[in-house]
A and B are shown apart, each in its own frame.
Chain A
Amino acid sequence: MSTLPNEDIKDRSWGYVAKVVAITLTIVFAANGAAFYYINAWQPNLLYHLVKVKWGLVDKKASTKDWLVLGDSSCNQGVDPDVVYEILQEDALNLCVVGDYLSVGSSWLLDAYIRKNGAPDNILLVYSHRVWDRKEQPLNMIEQGPYRFILNEQLGDTLKYSVLERIKLEAIHYFPLAVHTASIREFLSNPANPVKHKQKYTVHSNGFMEALNGPSKDWLQKEYEILEQAKAYRSGLEVSPANLSGLKQIYRLADENNIEVYIASAPVYEKRYNNADTKAYFAQIDSFIAHTADTYGWQYIKIPGAVFSDSYMEDEVHLTYQGARLYTERLFTAIKEQQNHAH
């Protein structure tokens, strides 16, 4: 005989309900506190960690004034300030973060740096081919930095979030349970071995992060993957409004503070660059950067030496440590020649 279940509503008092609510909230907030401790002590998420570290460098009031390097992760582990010094005898600070931070994020870092440390003499911008068409900045990444509530009118153009999104941004900053879900799931799947990225990644005091791994032969040799991914580029380059806006802000800040701006070819794996399906895409990127440089009066450092073989690449846009030294040398040698020519 099939007995249909019913809803048997229990007699309960308000005291009982209050007790349930209070204990529930206490446990949830305690778990959140534990997550807070874990995220800050163990740094399981490299992307969030990088955002925090780079903002920390801005806040540190370093004495660097010669060069600020801004860009994405290919730049983060691709431009070594030590090599800059070897070539130009000038100090550089690498404030490159990750691609999703877009040029908008770079403009925030630049703005904050100028306010705290004064304007640098020069800026170098390096963004890989995978960044220009990205549209959105994940709120979870923004909440890692201090610009959660952009009240500054000058930066208002670059942050078009609604009031609700800004409230959410502030709220989730204090609630890692809702933000660092992937990291917490990883931890729960292996609680005996929490990740310690502090030891794993090395971000120097000049902002440069050494590559994690050597050449990834497995990845680079998967040519069919390269061919498959190439198809995605056939639709053509569409630079996102957020990136255009970020570049405009950088121009404004540079113009107001008499900063010389250089924008460079980003490092790329040769098989991606020379692939028949992506050649046109890279040509469009080249045109876009040239046009931007021309419009804003920037220097476009276009170097053939940005194209690397697999012995220098972790993957198609990230250099190994040796590759970074080589790329930085080529880049700043070209800059030096350009500067000499100008004089």
Chain B
Amino acid sequence: MLFNSPEFFLFFLVVFSAYLLTRKNLRWQNIVLFVASYFFYGSWNWKMLFLMFGTTALDYFLSRKIVATDKQAAKKWYLRISLVANLSVLGFFKYFNFFIDSFIDFFNVIGFTVEPLALQIILPVGISFYTFHSISYIVDVYRGNIKPADNLMDYALYISFFPQMVAGPIVRATQLLPQMYKKREITADKVNAAFFLIIWGFFKKMVIADNVAVVSNTVFQNYASYEGLDLFLGVLAFTVQIYCDFSGYTDIARGIAKLMGFEIILNFRLPYFAVDPSDFWKRWHISLSSWLRDYLYISLGGNRGGNIGTYRNLFLTMLLGGLWHGAAWNFVIWGAYHGFILILYRQYDDWKARKRQQAPLPLQTQPSGTVHRLFKIGVMFGFTYIGWFFFRADSLSQMLHFVTNAGFSFSAETVGYINTIVMYSLPLVLLQLWQHNTADLMVLTRLRAAPLAIVYALLIIGIFVFGASSQEFIYFQF
């Protein structure tokens, strides 16, 4: 069930009521959440519950084995078994057909005819997310950063916790598991913050994302009929859509968790205000970028192999990060593209430092005037915008069409598209400017009760009147 559905509203009403009724007993509260989480996941496809429980049980028992033995070799073996199992499951369900098709295409291109092999594999919802949750847990247990979960149910709850289960954020065990073992306080501060996150999250998703999606979907699905400015606008609409869709879902997830006293990692920090790629990845899908840094980039060697080694590790990490998003070459290209611009900026940074005969420093620590800063934000936004084009494109022919036909000519629909994008993006831009200038994502909650209530009421009315009909969140496909 989607967050923006009456079914979820009823579901959460029941779950929250049961959660409050069991507030004096932590164990019972966790049982309520566990049952609710499995019910929530099962509502998508109950058969996939067995898959999720299977990997959950395996990781739980392996984690206990890791701490039970003193032998480092044995610990490593248990870790490897878990990683192989988790990545195999993810690889099979998500990437099997992709690799087979790519393999067949390659051989066809070089002149060998290979019969297609199509397996009807259902992609379990949220598998990319809960696999990464599992990996973070087992690796952190191995590294000694966290004790194993006390019991299977607590660990299963961590993996399946319904607010963040199907589309993130990717919550580390070190962040969420300890919260299972202590009383969760529901305070007025948290409820106040939760209301903002939930209402603003729904507005971003249902009003902004779903309405600008009409422009991006129309242009991308009928790309051959479009040229000139319309192609730019299609990508711009997607740039707004993907941010509002994903951050909207995350806000709702975090708000719901906060209502129950849980703290979930912040996932977005005004990413379109980034000044360079490093800054961007500290602002966009933070839970994924930090996960990739801690469990992949550092494991590959991080920046310990000199420039060449660092660039290789960066590139590979971004490439795999792109592939994580989906089993298609456009995601791989997108990941590679971001790896490339990360390297480009680092090279530029090194070059500037050599010029000044200083040790290389990240661009962020250099003094910068407003105009210069705006310029950097604009350039980085441009790079991000181009990246989203790769991310959204369905095919090579589509990419070629965009590249060869984009321009500044107007069509009969151009003004309408501009109006749609501007009208729906305006509330987002206004709030984000305020958040940026105050460096406070919760700045709206500084208002006194009456003005804040007026804003909330307008947002809620906007959701009803302007919200497009229930559409699945983009990141559910991952």
Contacts and interface: CB of A to CB of B under 8 A. Distances in A.
B460 A28 contact: yes
B188 A28 contact: no
B68 interface: no
A17 interface: yes
Interface string A280-292: 0000000000000
A320 B452 CA distance: 53
A152 B330 CA distance: 55
Main secondary structure of the interface of A (DSSP, over half): helix
Given A185-B465, A185-B466, A10 B452 contact: no
A177 B453 contact: no
Interface in A166-214: 168, 175, 177-178, 181, 184-185, 188
A1 B449 contact: no
B440 A181 contact: no
B442 A9 contact: yes
Contact of A10 (B283, B367, B442, B466): B442
Interface stretch (A18-26, A62-70, A88-96, A326-334): A18-26
B24 interface: no
Interface stretch (B27-35, B51-59, B274-282, B390-398): B274-282
A7 interface: yes
A16 B440 CA distance: 20
Contacts of B440: 5-8
Contact of A28 (B435, B442, B457): B457
Given A4-B269, A10-B442, A16 B464 contact: no
B446 A177 contact: no
Given A5-B436, A5-B440, A6-B440, A177 B465 contact: yes
Interface stretch (B40-48, B78-86, B190-198): B190-198
Contacts of B368: 1
A224 interface: no
Contact of B453 (A6, A19, A164): A19
Interface range on chain B: under 10, 10 to 19, 20 to 34, or 35 or more?
35 or more
Given A5-B441, A7-B442, A10-B446, A168 B6 contact: yes
A31 interface: yes
A177 B466 contact: no
A21 B193 CA distance: 13
Nearest to B456: A24
Interface in B390-412: none
B6 A164 contact: yes
Contacts of B273: 2
Interface of B: 6-7, 10, 188-193, 195, 266, 269-270, 273-276, 279, 282-283, 364-368, 373, 435-436, 438-443, 445-446, 449-450, 452-454, 456-457, 460-461, 464-467
12 contacts: A1-B366, A2-B279, A2-B373, A5-B435, A6-B439, A7-B193, A8-B442, A16-B192, A17-B191, A19-B450, A23-B457, A181-B465
Given A7-B193, A31-B457, 10 more contacts: A5-B269, A5-B435, A6-B269, A8-B442, A9-B192, A12-B188, A12-B192, A16-B188, A17-B191, A175-B464
**A-B CB proximity, top 8 nearest:** A23-B453, A27-B457, A19-B449, A24-B453, A177-B464, A12-B192, A24-B456, A5-B439
